[in-house]
A and B are shown apart, each in its own frame.
Chain A
């Protein structure tokens, strides 16, 4: 018990003192995950919209695939992209393995199905009259899609927050694709795994506290936006 208190005490000191190594790890985590979610969002929303508002052969199959991918373990995504990006893999020439770019790719693969599935549910739940009203009032396809997105924005924001929560806390893909290189690809989850394996708990607890704070912020935002959505519609 004393050990836990000591480690927590040291962790708080590390956080408050502005320990450069610790904040560097936090910075990498946020940079990689923010870039991944930014790149995934627009394509995912478009795919979700097309799955909701168009009819084409294989649409139901695609929806089933995205729903299945929701439960894909991060380590399996890591393994898949490791094989693709490794020197002898089909994308080996790009020499991206053990880089932040590889981590971004892995995280996009992780959050994309979640974004599509949750956004698809939001679009499906939207009143079809919203789309028809926009179109009949002269809105072009782009304006009508943007209008629809505005109508279901709380659901879409919830999808983004859930996606961000999934990738910033995942360890499997980041470890396999980033390689946990200090000052380059070491992010919060991989650092926690490493420090814990060395028996150095202070940094792990400090980073865990940051993740917990982030999880709390994301969940609080999610509740706020879901509440707004329910009260308006």
Chain B
């Protein structure tokens, strides 16, 4: 399965954020998207999720032309966008996870699926905690698990590890690694690409309203990553 977004233009006032962006997302592929602050990463992801409309653009999804009706259409039904700070519904973690499940599922099936999901994400211990009281890392994991339960084709994550400590980041990245095993297309917008080199298949750089391909380091050991981080920082300062 491939989704092809072509010639996407978006402008806010006089400022053109996207100037004919072409983006191809392919099955079982994890892409990282980087760019300066204000480059349009979030806007691009929101457009891809159907939360915003571009001025113009075209989508080809499973061979058919999709339109940008808000949330309508098969593509947007199968796409989940995770905010930088994911929203937690009022209630406990289980209530939040249930939101991702289909309403048609029987009660025993829902319970089974939730138990599986809690184990999958290592959330069993906090299953009955109020979701709004969770830490940033826990919220992110709940949000990813909730999205996974929805069984989407595409998952778009906006800065999923921002402001996280090492442990929370490692847990989140490992959860994202698991997503790949479920054939979900993953696109991660980030300022810290080095954290995702281990799971990324391609690196996209959004600059001057267009997407360019970045080069992932061949050797992803820590020294090379440090060097790469330095080069990345220099490129955007």
Interface pair B81/A138, CB less than 8 Å apart:
no
Minimum distance in angstroms from B98 CB to a CB of chain A:
11
| Contact indicator B100/A137 (Cβ below 8 Å) | yes
Q: Which 6 A-B pairs have the closest CB atoms?
A: A129-B87, A133-B87, A136-B81, A135-B71, A136-B80, A129-B83
Interchain nearest-CB distance for B27 vs A (Å): 20
Asked if A137 meets B147 with Cβ closer than 8 Å, knowing A132-B81, A151-B90, A232-B132, the reply is yes
Q: Are A137 and B80 in contact (CB under 8 A)?
A: yes
Between-chain CB contacts (< 8 Å), 7 pairs:
A135-B71, A136-B49, A136-B71, A136-B79, A136-B81, A138-B150, A232-B130
Question: A134-159 CB contact bits vs B (8 Å, 1 = yes)?
Answer: 11111100010001001100000000
B77: chain A residues at CB < 8 Å are 138
Q: How big is the A interface, by class?
A: 10 to 19
Given the complex, which residues of B lie within 8 Å of A233, measured CB to CB?
132
State the Cβ distance, A231 to closest chain B Cβ, in Å.
10
Of B50, B87, B146, which one neighbours A127 at CB under 8 angstroms?
A: B87
Contact with A along B34-52 (1 / 0, CB 8 A): 0000000000000001110
Q: How far is the CB of B117 from chain A (nearest CB, A)?
A: 14
User: With an 8 A cutoff between CB atoms, is A46 at the interface?
Assistant: no
- The smallest beta-carbon distance between B143 and chain A, in angstroms, is 8
Which residues in A have their C-beta under 8 angstroms from that of B100? 137-138
Fill in one digit per residue for B90-113: 1 if any A CB lies within 8 Å of its CB, else 0: 100000000110110000000000
Instruction: Decide: B83 and A132 in contact? CB cutoff 8 A.
Output: yes
B51: which A residues are within 8 A, CB to CB? Answer: 132, 135-136
* CA A129 to CA B87, docked complex, whole Å: 6
Chain B residues with CB under 8 Å of A133's CB are: 83, 86-87, 89
Confirm or deny: A212 has a beta carbon within 8 angstroms of a beta carbon on chain B.
no
Query: Besides the contacts A136-B81, A137-B99, A138-B150, what 14 more A-B pairs have beta carbons closer than 8 Å?
Result: A129-B85, A132-B51, A132-B83, A133-B83, A135-B71, A136-B51, A136-B80, A137-B100, A137-B146, A137-B147, A138-B100, A147-B99, A150-B89, A232-B130
Q: Which residue of A lies closest to B70 (CB)?
A: A135
Indicate with 1 or 0, residue by residue over B121-138, a CB within 8 angstroms of chain A CB atoms: 000000000101000000
Q: Provide the bound-state CA to CA distance between A138 and B100, in Å.
A: 8
- On chain A, the residues within 8 Å of B87 by CB distance are 127, 129-130, 132-133
CB neighbours of B71 from chain A (8 A): 135-136
Task: Tell me how far the C-beta of A41 lies from the nearest C-beta in chain B, rounded to whole angstroms.
Answer: 21
The smallest beta-carbon distance between A147 and chain B, in angstroms, is 7
**Bitwise interface map of B from 219 to 235 toward A, beta carbon under 8 Å scored 1, else 0:** 00000000000000000
Residues of A within 8 A of B79 (CB): 136
Give per-residue flags for B41-84: 1 if the beta carbon is below 8 A from chain A beta carbons, else 0.
00000000111000000000000000000010000110111010
Q: How far is the CB of A53 from chain B (nearest CB, A)?
A: 11
A140: nearest chain-B partner, CB-CB:
B71
Are B89 and A147 touching (Cβ within 8 A)? yes
Q: Determine if A150 and B90 form an interchain contact, defined as CB atoms under 8 angstroms apart.
A: yes
Which residues of chain B come closer than 8 Å to A143, judged between CB atoms?
A: 103
Q: Which of A132, A147, A232 has the most CB of B within 10 A?
A: A132
Q: Which residues of A contact B89 (CB under 8 A)?
A: 130, 133, 147, 150-151
Chain B residue nearest to A130 in the complex (CB): B87
Distance A136 CA – B70 CA, assembled complex (angstroms): 10
**What residue in chain A is nearest B78 (Cβ atoms)?**
A138
Tell me how far the C-beta of A171 lies from the nearest C-beta in chain B, rounded to whole angstroms: 39
Tell me the minimal C-beta distance from A7 to chain B in angstroms: 48
